[in-house]
A and B are shown apart, each in its own frame.
Chain A
């Protein structure tokens, strides 16, 4: 379930390489835009209200195209019109008109489980008609574990932070997510736990120090000028710029390389981040 809903899709917006597109003029970007990009974004209704649009049906937020949105809120109004149900969902940051078309039994049954005043999770498409925005809902279910509400908002914050940070350069770590997150900007699917277990499970005494050093070196290599440079950066240069002893930089680079975050270019001393790949 996590894999299906997770905004990793949204964050990467269809390819594994979108995050770096804003920082470079990669010729690949046109290929990705031609493919149909499907995103699922968890949003607060406040965010939904502030999406930018170019034309009636092209919405985007934080630079990511919007296809499907996930909303968690409470149903404050409901009108059943047999083939469609019009209702209003309020998530505390705003409210939105929703429509659920019920042509098939399964759809009707799904809507029957939803009652006025209930917290629900819904997925739908954002529609705009004569300036009025509404949601065309195609999936809805009642919330039974209320931790889901907290989780949804935290997820909204995470996705927002991810989408806005990747635009600027270094990937920052997620704020408060209960799920252990990959510390680096790798291309592995977020649904699976981080693949290379040995290198990720640092012995406890090294964990914080080495981990933050690797993050520092990676952030350095993720800067736009280094992402753009063909030959990469020699570890002496990194060491001098970051004022970290060269041997520690070398160790950090080796571990980052094992994790697939950097690779060596001209020789085994020059490195480049894989974020631009």
Chain B
């Protein structure tokens, strides 16, 4: 059992707190290219994800990787999260996981 390399739940707003660190987020895919995906975070911030997405892409994509800047993630793992994911729920989770309940996560 090990908790030394956690990934923080982030939305667009929380990205800046974890630059250089491992983060996880879910974005709504706006467009994809070879080697990158452009998505909208659950709080409507445009995020660029560098990495090769799975094909075919579903509406929502989970990204786990290193936050390179406030708006870019270098992805280690990309997972299709389907078309019926609830972004509002995830957004609230991010707020709680970075706030009152941070000690349960990081």
B2 CB contacts on chain A under 8 angstroms? 49, 94-96
A167-178: CB near B (< 8 Å → 1, else 0) gives 000000001101
Interface size class of A (residues with CB under 8 A): 20 to 34
Does more than half of chain A's interface fall in helix, strand or loop, or is it mixed? mixed
Q: Are A160 and B93 in contact (CB under 8 A)?
A: no
For residue B64, which residue of chain A has the nearest CB? A92
Q: A248 contacts the other chain (Cβ, under 8 Å)?
A: no
Does more than half of chain B's interface fall in helix, strand or loop, or is it mixed? mixed
Q: Are A49 and B3 in contact (CB under 8 A)?
A: yes
B85 in complex: contacting residue of A46, A146, A156, CB < 8 Å: A146
Q: A106 contacts the other chain (Cβ, under 8 Å)?
A: no
Q: What's the minimum C-beta distance from B20 to chain A, rounded to whole angstroms?
A: 17
Interface size class of B (residues with CB under 8 A): 20 to 34
B61-90: CB near A (< 8 Å → 1, else 0) gives 010100000000000010101101110011
B62 CB contacts on chain A under 8 angstroms? 146
List the 8 closest pairs (A to B, CB-CB), nearest first: A94-B3, A146-B81, A133-B1, A176-B92, A157-B101, A96-B1, A92-B7, A49-B3
- Which residues of A are in contact with B by a Cβ distance under 8 Å? 44-49, 74, 92-97, 117, 119, 132-134, 145-147, 150-151, 153-154, 156-157, 160-161, 175-176, 178
